[in-house]
Amino acid sequence: MAANSYALLQVVTKCSLQKPSRPTKLEHSMNPLSSTFKPILPRELDHFPNISLDVPKAIKDISFNLLEAFVDFICEFVDQPLLPSKSNFAPVEEMIEGTTVGIVEGKIPDDFPECVYVRNGPNPLFGGLKSTRSIFGESSHMWIEGEGMVHALYLNKENGGKWKALYKNKHVQTDSYNMEKDRKKPGFLPAIQGDSNAILLSYLLNLLRFGVTDKSLSNSNVFEHGNKYYSIAENHMPQEIDIHSLQTKGNWNILSGSWNRPFTSHPKKAPGTGELVIIGIDGKKPYMELGVISADGKKMVHKADLMFDRCTVCHEIGVTKRYNVIMNFPLIVDISQLILGGQLMKFERDGYARIGIMPRYGDANSIKWFEVNPCSVFHIINCFELNDEVVVRACEARQSVIPGPSSSINHFDKFSKWLKRETSSTNGDSHEFTKESTFSRVCEWRLNMKTGQVKEKKNIFGDEFVMEFPFINEKISGFRNKFAYLQVVESTEVSGSGFSKFGGLIKVHYEEKKTFNNMDEEDELIKSEYHMFPKNTFCSGASFVPKPGGIDEDDGWIITFTHNENENISQVCIIDAKKFTEEPIAIITLSSRVPYGFHGAFMPLTS
């Protein structure tokens, strides 16, 4: 298989001295790769081949058409199956206009801020995700790879103080989205799961036809900076969004020339300065770079090569008042493994893991590294300084659920069996956190900047649930937090697509302890509260809404999209953060189904 991959690479190389013309130019495309969580391929692929000949347009068109005919001849697009239990992972149609919705239960408090609650997520074109079959094997997308769609609920007051709720959704109109929309059929070959020959062929044919290796997804997160709003996934630069119309205004190209790669889906605002701290990875050196963007979003004020010796997947960066917190864990991308017949991305169980603490405007030599036990971390809860220590709170698993099974054939069945094997490693009802666990739980590292000592706490409030997608009151980001909130995995409803359903929420009380006796040994755990949704109702994109003028950190509300699978109804629930276990104070029923997605954000409405 390895020899065949290399031969295929040579054949396509020799046949591609001239890039054919493309139906739509993909402006500002930045080393895309197939997954929201996957880093980008080496930039040589985006520019390969780099020989440019002066060939008449007619010949270019013929070249492109020949390549299209070649793809149509050897590749067959096939709809990926979607089981009934996965029905709310299916895409929805884009709405032309927003729809006014009514509050069907409870009441929105008078002091609730006028806002837009917006959530991003995958919403694939053409009815759903596709697989491709060819003489080189099969390749397929995962659910996380659908084109981005933002879902927004606008809450504002009319004259007389009556609340008005308006719901809108809209695809993020990236360059590749517009190209496929114009073609009215799939164009990019999927390249995340499957046979290595087929994946390599997909990358090369995508590159030769469109100039980039894969689509820009922009389906992971939304954020605000410099009074502008952005949609993002880490395989491309962010797209600016008009927060009122949800119209895509274009790629964030103001950093052109200063930053030549995508950056993390979770950029962080530096406490005190409001600057935006970003990281970006690449499949070739420099593997990881860090940047600091001015508070107004108009210039790069600092940039550093972190001098990594491998391409490690890093989905998030942490910040404290003085430091950047960098995760270097053993989920690795290696293009050579794909060429040799293996997976492009692999979790190295025996690889090293370390956390770096770097002064805000430091360089690679200024980073103080702390060795920790190998694990997988996608999301950081918060980081802060405490005396001589930097405290890092995150969601940690012993191994990565990404990339999942190595083959795309019978992917849904294989993934379900794979996860059942992982969950069966727990002992009865104790839910022991085993070495092989792929599910995340809350952990904490205390890193002593003077002594270099690491204090590590795992699973700090018990084994009853596993959880992910953490969020806090953003006013506390970078400072010591008393509370954190996470989405609780409904472990019996793990989707075959590699993404779990979340049947509830948890509130973590970091400064309140609970004790219990177990076999004459006293253990100390952190207090936690749960808000579980009705059976077969699941949430996504939960976010904290701070109370105007609030004094306590938890003065505010939790807002989240939910979907009742029994009745096929999507709603927005508002929960009082101080009365976390009680019923929602307001439930807003939407006229449109909202598929499960990724991260949500609360944003005050401005004119």
User: From the annotation, which residues make up the binding site?
Assistant: 266, 315, 379, 599
* DSSP for 81-140, written as a single string: P--GGGGGGS--PPPSS-EEE-EEEE---TTSPPEEEEEEEE--STTS-EEEEETTEEEE
Dist CA 460 CA 444 (whole Å): 8
> What is the number of other CB atoms lying within 10 angstroms of the CB of residue 534?
10
The DSSP secondary-structure symbol of 344 reads S
The DSSP secondary-structure symbol of 565 reads T
Pick the closest to residue 112 from 584, 570, 595, 471 (CA basis): 584
> What is the number of other CB atoms lying within 10 angstroms of the CB of residue 280?
24
Dist CA 560 CA 575 (whole Å): 9
* DSSP for 39-91, written as a single string: -PPPHHHHH-S-------HHHHHHHHHHHHHHHHHH-EEEEPP--GGGGGGS-
Q: 336: alpha, beta or left, given left = phi > 0 and alpha = psi -120 to 50?
A: alpha
Who's near 98: CB < 8 A, 6+ residues apart? 154, 166, 167, 168
H or E element in which residue 260 lies: none
Measured distance between the N- and C-terminal CA atoms of the chain, rounded to whole angstroms = 58
Residue 108 · residue 163 · CB < 8 Å: yes
Dist CA 171 CA 181 (whole Å): 11
> What is the number of other CB atoms lying within 10 angstroms of the CB of residue 67?
17
Both tokens of 428, joined, read 């009865």
> What is the number of other CB atoms lying within 10 angstroms of the CB of residue 405?
17
Both tokens of 330, joined, read 């053993």
Binding residues for Fe cation: 266, 315, 379, 599
Dist CA 233 CA 148 (whole Å): 9
Instruction: Annotate 4-23 with b (16+ C-beta within 10 A) or e (fewer).
Output: ebeebbeebeeebebbbbbe
Both tokens of 57, joined, read 């347009």
Dist CA 14 CA 578 (whole Å): 65
H or E element in which residue 419 lies: helix 411-423
Who's near 471: CB < 8 A, 6+ residues apart? 484, 485, 486, 542, 543, 544
User: How large is the greatest C-alpha to C-alpha distance in the chain, in angstroms?
Assistant: 83
> What is the number of other CB atoms lying within 10 angstroms of the CB of residue 196?
25
